[in-house]
Structure 1
Amino acid sequence: MLRRSIIVASGTLALTLGGHRLLPELGGFTPVLESLLPWLGAAVPVLLVLALATRSWQVIFTALLPATVWAVMFGPAMLRTPPGGPSDLSVATLNVGATNGDSADAVRSVSEGRDLVAVQELTPGGPAAEVLNDRFPHRYRIATVGLWSRFPIAEARKADIGLDWARALRAVVVTPRGRVTVYVMHLASARPGQTDLRDETLTYARRMIDKDESPHLLLLGDLNTATTDRKRSGLVPPLSDAQQEAGAGFGFTWPAAFPVTRPDHILYRGMTATTASVEPAAGSDHRAAVASLRLAA
């Protein structure tokens, strides 16, 4: 009975990991499951220990299947080293938390040494905005999202992501190496059985990216879409992911106390990511995603 259970569990786990995109969405449950996909690997050592206890090579071999699939899927992220080299932009994005009493300290630490800082869940006129206003000469904020820049902002406007309230903006930043179009977005939330509105905002975001002919483009923000969520494939490609290209590990950002997934992203085109990482942010339930990038000629 134990042997059969281990074989069934191992086969199911291997198929779920390797074939998760073939699973039906089940009313939005599967995309949420995909957000936690790397954590399914926690079952691998348990299955291996149980398999070894049976002393059956057939069972042990079967238990190695999900281990192999997990290693192929996620091993490169664990072994990746940042390419490094010179960079033109240091950027950060943070969902600071609407009720965060330490928001000033959060943005103070995250913004240190940055050229661009994107913030979501801002309190208009609150302490986070005040700190950033003092640190950066250029800014554009609309409702609860904002962008602060060390370089001039030539254009700025609200961006429509299909919500009844403003949670996205588009700005053009004039850097010494050329203009960079920057989108800051806070897409709708995704929960089990409640992903339709999030999916709709993702569709709006993709349409904007497709229509935008800017050679250098950044998309920063809380996209409420994990790296392993099937719906994020609508954005990557055509954009690249700084964490996947230049970060070590998974770069989980939520929840801050013990991150298990990554809804916060730095996506781009017309650039090369040289480093990417995650930083703590006082009081927020998110950690900040940060990266350095080099503009393509």
Structure 2
Amino acid sequence: MRTVTERAIDEPAAGDSSGRPDRRGLAVCLLAVLLAALLAGHRAVPNVHGFGSLLDSASPLLGLAVPVLGAAALLRRSRRALAAVLLPGVVWVVLYGDAWLPPAAGGGPAVLRVASQNLQSGNPDPAATVHALVSSDADLIALQEVDDDDRVDAALGQRYPHRATASTVALWSRWPIRDSAGVDTGLGWNRALRAVVAAPDGDLVVYVVHLGSARAGHTATRDETLSRLAATVRDDRAPRLVVLGDLNTATTDRVFAPLTRLLHDAQADAGQGFGFTWPSKLPVTRPDHVLYRGLTPTAAGVLRTPDSDHRAVTAGFRW
């Protein structure tokens, strides 16, 4: 005997005796298949005017369409559509579900803690922003979009007596900085720096980077700066190295591949979740990164800070 619930789904509407095929939920089925294909093959979409790059960066958010399609299938009372919605759901879980699992790496005491923050040019109270970073107990603080403002120096100088700067990027350190220099990423001015930090357990090379901006249809400058950064890191023979900063794209972006072949992502290895940082009030993507090699990550996360349009990223490491 069929139950009332079973009769409520996939039964012809009352009075429909025409014998025509039941097309309820067909549109949902087609959209579900399209969504699954887009999730699985977003990098195959041509990167015309940066659209493919934008789709790559937004691909984790495509999962939000799965419950919407599921609700539509229920409204259409179609078991066929509900089954179809499982397909993009499974693809999303395969691609991104492990981001929500407890990290495989991590745990144990950190001997090095880092934080990176895009301060936002014109920040009305940069001191408040960096005070939040100090509370993270970071040993190294990397900043981007630093205006010529002594309020940042006043907030950090006592606890972080060593500093390296290049244009609008800067590094504050508890430990001595042996050497620093600007890094050319193709912008025509150095919006990146390389510093050698004399950490207690040995020298550490730190890059602080703010790559070119990207807008819908205009990603060429960002792409070129990322390529230049990857080439610089490839030529750098330092055994222990971290890259901190606003790279203006997510690790899911196809143009990020040259860096992911060279460096590990602290959030992916020792964090939980996507670690979105922008925009600060309701972040939907992660342009801010902690990348590394020659170290073991113990933790990674995101810190909400006041007065900036970006959240900060943090990570801990051991040698």
Q: Counterpart of 1:99?
A: 122
- The residue correspondences of 1:208-247 to structure 2 (distance < 5 A) are 208-247=232-271
Within 1, Cα distance between the matches of 2:106 and 2:227? 32
- When normalised by structure 1's length, the TM-score is 0.96
Q: Counterpart of 1:3?
A: 25
State which of 134, 139, 155 in structure 2 corresponds to 1:111.
134
Q: Counterpart of 1:67?
A: 89
Q: Counterpart of 2:19?
A: none
Give, in angstroms, the shift of residue 137 of structure 1: 1.3
Aligned CA-pair RMSD: 1.3
Q: Quick check: 2:278–2:286 contact (8 Å CA) kept in 1?
A: yes
Within 2, Cα distance between the matches of 1:259 and 1:227? 15
What residue identity is the alignment partner of 2:162? H
Secondary structure of the 1:135 match is coil
Q: Quick check: 1:122–1:129 contact (8 Å CA) kept in 2?
A: no
State which of 40, 46, 56 in structure 1 corresponds to 2:68.
46
Give, in angstroms, the shift of residue 151 of structure 1: 0.8
- When normalised by structure 2's length, the TM-score is 0.89
State which of 102, 106, 124 in structure 2 corresponds to 1:80.
102
Q: Counterpart of 2:34?
A: 12
Q: Quick check: 2:120–2:309 contact (8 Å CA) kept in 1?
A: yes
Change beyond 3 A, Cα 1:2–1:255: farther
Change beyond 3 A, Cα 1:78–1:243: same
Give, in angstroms, the shift of residue 184 of structure 1: 0.4
Q: Counterpart of 2:203?
A: 179
Unpaired runs of at least 5, structure 2: 1-22
Give, in angstroms, the shift of residue 83 of structure 1: 2.3
Secondary structure of the 2:130 match is helix
**1:168 corresponds to 2:192:** yes
**Offset from partner CA, 1:33-74 (integer Å, 9 cap, x none):** 222211111110111122234444332221110011111111
Q: Quick check: 1:96–1:281 contact (8 Å CA) kept in 2?
A: no
Within 2, Cα distance between the matches of 1:119 and 1:293? 19
Give, in angstroms, the shift of residue 116 of structure 1: 0.3
**Offset from partner CA, 1:134-183 (integer Å, 9 cap, x none):** 32111111211000111111110011101112210000001111110000
Q: Quick check: 2:115–2:312 contact (8 Å CA) kept in 1?
A: yes
Secondary structure of the 2:318 match is strand
Q: Counterpart of 2:54?
A: 32
**Number of aligned positions between the proteins:** 295
Percent of aligned pairs sharing the same letter = 47
Give, in angstroms, the shift of residue 191 of structure 1: 1.2
Q: Counterpart of 2:160?
A: 136
Instruction: Determine which structure has more spread, i.e. the larger CA radius of gyration.
Output: 2
State which of 141, 144, 160 in structure 2 corresponds to 1:120.
144
What residue identity is the alignment partner of 1:111? V
Within 2, Cα distance between the matches of 1:260 and 1:129? 31
State which of 136, 140, 145 in structure 1 corresponds to 2:169.
145
Say which is worse superposed, 73-82 or 271-280, in terms of deviation: 73-82
Secondary structure of the 2:260 match is coil
**Offset from partner CA, 1:99-119 (integer Å, 9 cap, x none):** 111210100111231100000
Within 1, Cα distance between the matches of 2:184 and 2:24? 55
Q: Counterpart of 2:3?
A: none
Secondary structure of the 2:148 match is coil
Secondary structure of the 2:189 match is coil
Secondary structure of the 2:32 match is helix
Large movers: runs of 4+ above 4 Å: none
Within 2, Cα distance between the matches of 1:164 and 1:181? 23
Q: Counterpart of 1:193?
A: 217
Give, in angstroms, the shift of residue 133 of structure 1: 2.0
Give, in angstroms, the shift of residue 190 of structure 1: 1.1
Within 1, Cα distance between the matches of 2:95 and 2:50? 23
Q: Quick check: 2:24–2:78 contact (8 Å CA) kept in 1?
A: no
Q: Quick check: 2:121–2:145 contact (8 Å CA) kept in 1?
A: yes
